[in-house]
Homo-oligomer: A and B are copies of this chain.
């Protein structure tokens, strides 16, 4: 790999993850940490990143693009997205729900992975534009503005014609008794359809969703296969969910 490409790669990873770690980069690229450190030093000298102990950060610490854009993804959501991306096996057909965590997930799908992604979120679809190995199927319908996903009869109909391996679902509440919940009735219906169309369902939930409940019930928690949370999620809140039949998966780091 050419030096110039390596530096470009570092900047890409930085933009994708919001930070880079010298050690991880050296392992990923198969080079000594010295070389990585030199690169980081030079990139910092060019003002392309901000050097910190152990790695580097973006020059302008991640800020929301502008009104209406994707909300700032927290480190926790990035970690959950990355962990979810690792669950996708080559050749699988996966359903991916909308939301910021879902966008993080597809952003972290390994380059070179060949799979099919079905989504009703145009944001997720756009994010996959540059991912050559992924076949993308878009579910159409009326766009529900708040969360930017297709809903309505057309979407329901399209989803009903699919049998996927895994559904990666975002929710606004996971509660042992209230079940999986969300804030909009149309969205709830779509999410229910997505779950029905996949053999397994992995629920992606940042810690504030654990133990919370919103207005519209999608399904009891037992309808999902597993729950992917970050280490930040309190173990106490997870115990009743595990008892309800959910396999708890932990992402690394927060």
- Give A contacts to B, CB under 8 Å: 2-5, 8, 19, 21, 52-55, 57, 61-62, 65-69, 120, 122-123, 125-126, 128-130, 132, 135-143, 145, 148, 150, 154-155, 158
Q: Which chain B residues lie closer than 8 Å to A123 at the CB level?
A: 122, 126
Docked CA distance A212–B136 (Å): 31
Among B62, B126, B132, B155, the residue within 8 A (CB) of A8 is: B62
* Contact A138 B140, beta carbon cutoff 8 Å: yes
Smallest CB gap from A146: residue in B = B129
Q: Which of B53, B126, B128 contacts A2 (CB 8 A)?
A: B53
- Chain multiplicity (copies): 2
Question: How far is B231's CA from A196's CA once the two chains are assembled, in angstroms?
Answer: 54
Contact between A57 and B2 (Cβ–Cβ < 8 Å)?
Answer: yes
Given contacts A5-B57, A57-B5, contact A142 B136 (CB under 8 A): yes
Given A3-B53, A4-B52, A53-B4 in contact, is the A129-B145 Cβ separation under 8 Å?
A: yes
A130: B residues at CB distance < 8 A: 65-69
- Chain B contacts of A148 at CB under 8 A? 125-126, 129
B150 adjacent to A142 (CB under 8 Å)? no
CA distance A107 to B3 in the complex (A): 38
Query: With the chains together, A19 CA to B215 CA distance in Å?
Result: 45
B140 near A137 with CB under 8 A, answer: yes
How far is B139's CA from A154's CA once the two chains are assembled, in angstroms?
9
A114–B158 Cα distance when bound, in Å, is 27
Given A8-B62, A57-B2, A126–B136 Cβ distance below 8 Å?
no
